[in-house]
Structure formats: structure tokens, C-alpha cells
Chains A and B, each alone.
Chain A
Amino acid sequence: MKIARLARLNLLLVILLIVVFILNLAGGVHWYAPSLLWQSQHTLAQQIMWSIRLPRALAAALVGALLALSGQLMQTLSKNPIADPSILGVNAGAMLALMLGSVAGITLSVINTIWLSIVGATLAFVVVLMLAMTRQGLDPLRFILGGTVFSGFVSCLAYAVSLLTNTTMQFRNLLVGGFSDTTFKQVIFLVVGLFVVTLMITFNRKSLTLMVFDDATARSLGARPGLTRAIGALVIVISAGCSVAVAGNIGFVGLGIPAIIHYLHPDSLERNILPNLLLGAVFMLLIDFVAKTLVAPTELPLAALSAICGGAFLLIVIAREGQVLTDE
């Protein structure tokens, strides 16, 4: 019965994903029918569909999925439902690395942006983990507090670097988040990233699931918390790094999507991987659609939009959950 419910949720999310994907393709400064993609006559509209809209929609879906996965892992590893790579400074670390790299003279080609932001995300995450480790393992409170402060600090540094070097326009996409110039090359990297991350999670799903316990309990069950934490951290920095390299620092998705999935279907990490990944993609496609169509031709800042929409939704969920609890 429970399996059936999970399958229903996944099916619903796949249908939603197809719908919002088509919507995202169709919407923009002008509305185009997605069927243009396979029409024989070569028009400007067809070219726009192929070289701008399709990679953009694909990138949005992939980044949404990656961010949702990294958030889900972050929350499990830190035993804290409000952990997320953007709150804990991992995204900010990637962003700062990109800016510093560019200032230092590294050309921001697709491959360079990816490795720079993964390195930045890793360094930031290592610092936050070191702030939070105690003899008993990871202290959730220190993790979240240290991470938040560190995130603010690194974001400020990133803004300062961009202001001082007069590159705020160049880094606009990075700072406000968005998919406006996405290329197929970036999409390929995102596909590889998502593939690697999904494999890592799938192979380690049982031990990752045990990370909700304290280290002593997890170890007594036969798990190796240190190793599992390292694998989880690797997944987080790859996901966050790839996302930031393509779409900048987008908040909420990593925080809100796993929370919503957990609300809809409270279950272990391993069973919620797929719905979480799907809803992340759906949400990002939808938000990107709003960003480019709401006040077209102006494009709205995606990160802010994501935070507003998602934040409002999350508030409703929390408020409703509170209601449910008081009714009992």
C-alpha cells in the first residue's frame, strides 16, 4: 500500500515535469509552440527553440534536481531539517571561487567554471564541517550556526570582490541566479554531474539512510559513518558546484523541496530520492518560466523569485503542519 502511494507520487511528478517542461519551452518574450523543434522549415523561431530555449529548459530541470538532492543529503547528514547548501555557505564558496578565479585571470570556460565552483564548494564545506565537528561527531547546532555565519561572510567577500573589480555586470547571472545564457555544453556537464551524483547516492542509499542516527548507533548497525559522511559531502559539493557554475547561487530549492517531499511522504532518505529529484526539476522549470514571462522582456532575478515563491510555500506548509499537530 505504501509502495503504491510512492509510485503514485512519482507518476504525478513525472507528468508535472512534462507539463512544466513544455510550458518552459513555450514561454518567453514570445510564445512559440514546442512543435517548432521538429518542423522541417528553418525559421528564426526554430533556431531560438533549439539553441536557446531547449538548453535553458534542460539546464533548469537538471539544476533543480541537483539542488534538491544536495539539500536532502545535507539535511540527513546534519540531522537538521533547515540545512541547505545555500544556507551553509557551500554555494557562496563556489560563487567566490568563480569570482576569484576570474579576477586571477582564469578564462571562465564551461569546464573551468565547473571545476572552480566544485573546488570552492569543497573548501567552504570543509571549513563548515570543521567548525561543527566534535568528539561525538557532527554537532547539528554548531553546523547550522557556523555555516550560516560563514555563508554570510563568504557572500560578503564575493560581493566585495565583484564591486572592487567592477565586475558586477559580468557576474550578474552568478549573483542573482538565472539560466539566460545556458548552452548545450553546460547541459552536458550537468547531465554528467547528475548521473554521477545519482549513482553515488543509489549505491550508498542504505548507509546514507542510517546517517539519521548518532554515530555510535550507526556504527553498531555495521555502518561506517565517517566514510558515508565523506561520500555524502562529495555528492553535496558536486551538486552545488555544478549548479552554481551554471545558474549562480539559487536558494530555497535545496531547503524547501526536500521539506515538501518529506511533508507529502514522510519516509526514509532512500525512498524519497526520486520524488525529491523530480520535484526539484519541476520547481526550477516553473520558477524559470515565471522569471522569463511575468514581466517580459525583462527577466526577473531567479534567486529572489525562488526565495519568494518557495519561502511562501514553505511557510504555508509549516503553518498547516502546526495546525495538524494542534488538532491531534
Chain B
Amino acid sequence: MNAIVGQELTIGYGKKTIIQKQSLKIATGQITGLIGPNGSGKSMLLKALCGINPIISGSVLINEQQLATMPNKMRAKMIAYLAQTPIVPGDLTVLNLVKMGRYAFYHGLMNRDESGKAQVYQAMVAAKVDDLANRRIDSLSGGQRQRAFIAMTLVHNSPIIMLDEPTTYLDLTHQLGILNLLKELNLTQQKTVVLVLHDLNQAAQYCDQLLCIQDGRIIKTGTPKEVLTASLLAKTFQVTADITYHSARQYPQLQDYETLVQS
């Protein structure tokens, strides 16, 4: 089963097209990583797949339903999206931030949301921010802040979560913390996770499937072992590396990497 199917997608701003006629499939219940050099169109593709940015032509199917004709609130219940650097008022508390994620579930003139309280609590527990509920966003560390945002995306209760570089600006411990959290959500709640990552070793370790994008084209898809080959590294990232494989799980890891570009 495919959670997301993109057909002949052309995406860009105004008249400028960045991505031209690309098709892709993202399997349900897997972690899919979008990798590629800066400016290759990863973030733009992600935003188009979750309906935040319009597409110029082509279509996106989410669980076999057309994304383009889906009402906003229904879309929000299907896909949660976390921007790379969301703008949030610093004096908002974690609890209120997570509560605001329930917007799509309010109904009626009184904005009722019967299961809201329980969902907010569960999301905070799942993202491990329940003990930070009354802290202000600007008093949190980078890792805590990111987990608070993940709680806000979990409270949609959507089968799909998309994250744009969720580990940027975090130290290694917190990077791994966020990735482990996503892996855990994928395993325990069967969430389909799609994320943009820059660290290829982390992408190889945590993702079931990788999509490599270069200059607005999807040049390779498959398991990390299939995608991260020496030739792709050289062609797309201008890097050489010794590739070793994890003894049990066989995912590739790059060692001793070196750039091929003279700066």
C-alpha cells in the first residue's frame, strides 16, 4: 500500500518551475528520507506532498484520495507537517502549543473537541514533553523545543507525518533523540514518516526508503543500500567515501568521506 503517490508533479513558485514532471510512491508505515544537495528541491517537494504549497500540474494521492480537492481540515487530519523553523511566539506554553494542533478537530459554533484533552495529553507523553507542559517555548532547549513541535504534529492523530530537517540546529544527542522518537512512533503507532535529512549516515540508519533528489529530479529511490552507492555519492554529492555495511541490518555507513570539489 502506498500512503502517498505523486504523479507527474511540476512544482515551483510563480512561473519558475523547480521540479518538473516527477513521479513517486511512498509506502505506508515506512520511514522515507528525502536526501539531496542544498537547493535540490527537497523542501519544496515535501511541502507540495502535504498540500501546503500548491503544485503547478500533476496530482498527489493521499491514501488514494486526491489531495487537491481535500478540504483543509481533512487534510490536516491525514498529514501532519513540521516546518524547518516554525515561527511561534516565545511566551506560548508547551501545553497551549500542543492544544493549537487540535484546530482541525474543532467543530460547531462552540468549537467543541470531545477527545481533545486526552489526545493532547497522549501526544505530550509520546513526544516526552508532558513534564514541560507549563514551560514557555523560549525557555526550552533546542531538543525540547523540537519535541514540543513534534507533540503538536502528533496531536493531529494523522497516519502521516512529514518533517523538514527535524534535526537541524541540534547537537548529536538530541538529533539521535528526535530520530529515535520518530522511529518509535513509526513502530508503535504505525505512522508513515517522511522527512528531509542532510546527514546521510543517519538517513541510512533510520530510513526504510530513500529518495534522492538532484536539481529538481528524483534520481534514485530504494532502500538505503540501493541508493547510497559510491557512484551516486560522487555524482550527486561530489563526495568519495568508503562504504561499510552494518553487520546485522545491512544499512550502509560512509567512512572517511572527502569532497571531490576544490574550494
Q: Is A267 an interface residue (CB 8 A)?
A: yes
Q: How many cross-chain pairs have Cβ atoms below 8 Å apart between A and B?
A: 68
Among A219-227, A249-257, A299-307, which stretch is in contact with chain B?
Answer: A219-227
Which of A209, A214, A222 interacts with B73 by CB under 8 Å? A222
Interface size on A, residues (CB 8 A): 22
Interface assignment of B237: CB less than 8 Å from any CB of chain A = no
User: Which residue of chain B lies nearest to A135 when distances are taken between CB atoms in the complex?
Assistant: B13
Instruction: Tell me, yes or no, whether A8 is within 8 Å of chain B by CB.
Output: no
Whether B91 sits at the interface, judged by CB under 8 Å, is: yes
How far, in Å, is B163 (CB) from chain A's closest CB? 11
A222 touching B81 in the complex, CB below 8 Å, given contacts A212-B88, A213-B87, A216-B52 = no
| B contact residues vs A (CB 8 Å cutoff) | 13, 47, 50-53, 72-77, 79-83, 86-89, 91-92, 96, 100-101, 103-104, 106, 109, 111, 153, 156
Measured in the bound complex, the distance between the Cα atoms of B53 and A220 in whole Å is: 10
Q: Chain A contacts of B50 at CB under 8 A?
A: 220
Return A236 CB to nearest CB of chain B, in Å: 19
For B73, list chain A residues within 8 Å (CB): 222
Establish whether residues B103 and A207, one from each chain, have CB atoms under 8 Å apart when the complex forms.
yes
Q: Which residue of B lies closest to A217 (CB)?
A: B86
Report if A203 contacts B (CB, 8 A): yes
**What's the minimum C-beta distance from B256 to chain A, rounded to whole angstroms?**
38
CB-based nearest A residue for B53: A216
For this complex, 23 residue pairs linking A to B, each with C-beta atoms less than 8 Å apart, are A135-B13, A205-B111, A213-B86, A214-B86, A216-B47, A216-B53, A216-B81, A216-B83, A216-B86, A217-B87, A220-B80, A220-B81, A221-B76, A221-B101, A221-B103, A221-B104, A221-B156, A222-B74, A222-B76, A266-B91, A267-B96, A268-B92, A268-B96
Report the minimal beta-carbon distance from A260 to chain B, rounded to whole angstroms: 15
Q: Are the CB atoms of A214 and B104 closer together than 8 Å? A: no
Tell me if A142 counts as interface (CB < 8 A to partner B).
no
Complex contact A79–B103 (CB within 8 A): no
**A206 at the binding interface (Cβ < 8 Å):** yes
A124 within 8 Å of B (CB atoms): no
Closest chain A residue to B75, Cβ basis: A222
Kindly provide the distance from the CB of A166 to the nearest chain B CB, expressed in whole angstroms: 48
Interface-central residue, B75, B80, B87, B104, by most chain A CB under 10 Å: B87
Contacts of B91 in A (CB 8 A): 266
Confirm or deny: A210 has a beta carbon within 8 angstroms of a beta carbon on chain B. Answer: yes
- Contact A219–B86 (Cβ < 8 Å): no
Tell me whether B83 and A222 are in contact (CB under 8 A).
Answer: no
Pairs A-B, 3 closest by C-beta atoms: A222-B76, A222-B104, A220-B81
Cross-chain contact B100 with A210 (CB below 8 angstroms): yes
